[in-house]
Structure formats: C-alpha cells, structure tokens
C-alpha cells in the first residue's frame, strides 16, 4: 500500500515537472531532505515557488501529508506557509492544475455535475491560481431536467490561462483593459474580474486619454492631475 501511494506521488510530481517545464519554469528538486513540506521549487521571472505535488484520483485537494514508519501511520495537516501552490494531477483527464494552498480540502471538478451546487472547474486552475470563483451548471449550458449539455452555451468558461498577479499588475499600466482582453481572447469585464480577484489596482478613469496627450507618465497620476 505504501509503495502504491508513493508511486502515485511520483506520477503527480513527474507530470507537474513536465508541465511546468513546458510553461517555461526552471524546476529545482531537493536532493537530500525527504521531509520538506514541499516536493520541489520552480523559478521564473526572478521568482521562486514552492510546489506540493498531489495525485487526486477523487479530485480532492488533500490538505495533509501521510507517511508510514516503524511506529505506524502518521499524518500532518499542511500550514499556510508550507508551500505556495499545489500541483494536482487529475488522472481522469491527464491534466495538472495549480491551486494555491488556500484551496486545501477543496474539490476541483473535471466533469460537469448534475447538480445545482456551485463547483470549482479545472480550467480555472491551469496556471498558478490564488483566487477563483465557483462555477454553476448554467454557465455550461446544462439542462438539469434532461441532464444534457449544450456545448454552444459554454461562453463563460475561461479557455485561456489567466496571467499571474505580477504580470497583470504590469499589464494594466501598459495598456487599456480592453486591449489586454483582446490579447488574451477575453472580454474587458473578464480582465476586470482578474484585477478584482487579485486585488490589482488599475489606472484611474481618464488615465489613458491623458497619457495619449502626454500628460501622465507611468504610475505618476496623482500630482499630475492637479
């Protein structure tokens, strides 16, 4: 049983490392200590992220670590600073998702449920995700009476990877929200939701008009409005 569990953990870590490498991250793996609260570290754009890989056959984000030694079976719940993001391997769809440690204990759905209960959808976690809204069956065109899905109604499901908080903070000061939306293939409302979810401050109203006339530079808006 222990060997089987370790195999699943190895599969999750391997899948995550391959996926993150393709996403442009440098993967750093511990060589000595096996008792760290994270499995590996990735690096990109001058930032390090501690990653805990999990194999989620039941789609649940496990919030504890379990191990066995000569004294029996032990378990320990993760603490908020143990790592930054999970790398959760979902074997039913062969995908890895990256919820932050804040999502511990949650379920990430890969099949549209026949229920009116809101749920977390896997496509909203394909990048490092600190905040996500729960979905409802209506967004997927599900008819709970017939249990059928209208694929043409999936207009609200996000099919693009949301930029990181750092990337979004930079983008909102480089170009208008509408342009950012066009670049990512989403609406300006979607970009506004990203900002709200991350707590990213946007330029004040009229900023881009003033900038077009050379009245503002970068973030310097307060004293130049006078």
CATH of the domain at 97: 3.40.1350.10
* pLDDT score of 29: 77
Whether residues 123 and 159 fall in one domain: no
Structural domain contains residue 218: no
Structural domain contains residue 68: yes
Structural domain contains residue 214: no
CB contact at 8 A, 105 and 63:
yes
Listed in sequence order, the residues at least 6 apart from 192 whose beta carbon sits closer than 8 Å to its beta carbon are 177, 202
Give the pLDDT band of residue 152 (cuts 50, 70, 90). low
The Cα–Cα gap between 193 and 133 comes to 10
Listed in sequence order, the residues at least 6 apart from 149 whose beta carbon sits closer than 8 Å to its beta carbon are 112, 140, 141, 142, 143
Listed in sequence order, the residues at least 6 apart from 6 whose beta carbon sits closer than 8 Å to its beta carbon are none
Mean pLDDT of 34-44: 84
Structural domain contains residue 223: no
* pLDDT score of 220: 46
Q: How many CA atoms lie within 13 A of 4 on its CB side?
A: 1
Structural domain contains residue 224: no
The dihedral over CA atoms of 120, 97, 129, 218, expressed in degrees to the nearest 10, equals -130
Q: Is 13 exposed, middle or buried (0-12, 13-18, 19+ CB in 10 A)?
A: buried
Average pLDDT, the chain: 80
Whether residues 67 and 169 fall in one domain: no
* pLDDT score of 1: 39
Structural domain contains residue 221: no
> For 192-212, how does the pLDDT look when each residue is reduced to its tens digit (9 = 90+)?
888 888 888 988 888 888 887
The Cα–Cα gap between 1 and 9 comes to 13
3-class secondary structure, 77:
strand
Whether residues 181 and 94 fall in one domain: no
CB contact at 8 A, 220 and 189:
no
Structural domain contains residue 118: yes
Whether residues 166 and 124 fall in one domain: no
Whether residues 62 and 161 fall in one domain: no
Whether residues 160 and 136 fall in one domain: no
Enclosing domain of residue 136: 4-140
Whether residues 11 and 93 fall in one domain: yes
Give 151's DSSP letter.
G
Whether residues 13 and 94 fall in one domain: yes
Does residue 160 register a pLDDT over 70? Answer: no
- Structurally, the chain folds into a number of domains equal to 2
CB contact at 8 A, 149 and 165:
no
Whether residues 107 and 177 fall in one domain: no
Whether residues 172 and 101 fall in one domain: no
Whether residues 127 and 168 fall in one domain: no
Does residue 21 register a pLDDT over 90? Answer: yes
Structural domain contains residue 217: no
Listed in sequence order, the residues at least 6 apart from 210 whose beta carbon sits closer than 8 Å to its beta carbon are 216, 221, 224, 225
> Distance of alpha carbon 37 from its chain centroid, rounded?
20
pTM exceeds 0.75: no
């Amino acid at each position: 049983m222990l060997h089987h569990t370790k195999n699943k953990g190895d599969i999750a870590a391997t899948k995550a490392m391959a996926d993150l490498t393709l996403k442009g991250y440098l993967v750093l793996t511990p060589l000595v200590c096996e008792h760290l609260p994270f499995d590996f570290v990735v690096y990109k754009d001058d930032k390090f992220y501690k990653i805990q890989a999990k194999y989620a056959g039941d789609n649940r984000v496990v919030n504890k670590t379990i191990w066995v030694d000569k004294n029996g079976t032990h378990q320990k719940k993760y603490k908020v600073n143990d790592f930054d993001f999970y790398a959760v391997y979902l074997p039913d769809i062969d995908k890895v998702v990256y919820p932050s440690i804040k999502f511990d204990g949650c379920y990430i759905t890969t099949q549209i449920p026949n229920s009116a209960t809101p749920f977390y959808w896997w496509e909203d976690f394909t990048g490092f995700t600190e905040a996500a809204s729960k979905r409802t069956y209506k967004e997927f065109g599900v008819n709970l009476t017939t249990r059928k899905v209208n694929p043409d109604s999936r207009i609200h499901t996000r099919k693009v990877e949301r930029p990181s908080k750092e990337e979004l903070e930079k983008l909102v000061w480089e170009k208008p929200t509408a342009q950012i939306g066009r670049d990512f293939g989403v609406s300006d409302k979607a970009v506004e939701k990203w900002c709200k979810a991350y707590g990213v401050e946007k330029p004040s109203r009229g900023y881009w008009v003033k900038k077009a006339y050379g009245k503002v530079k970068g973030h310097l808006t307060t004293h130049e409005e006078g």
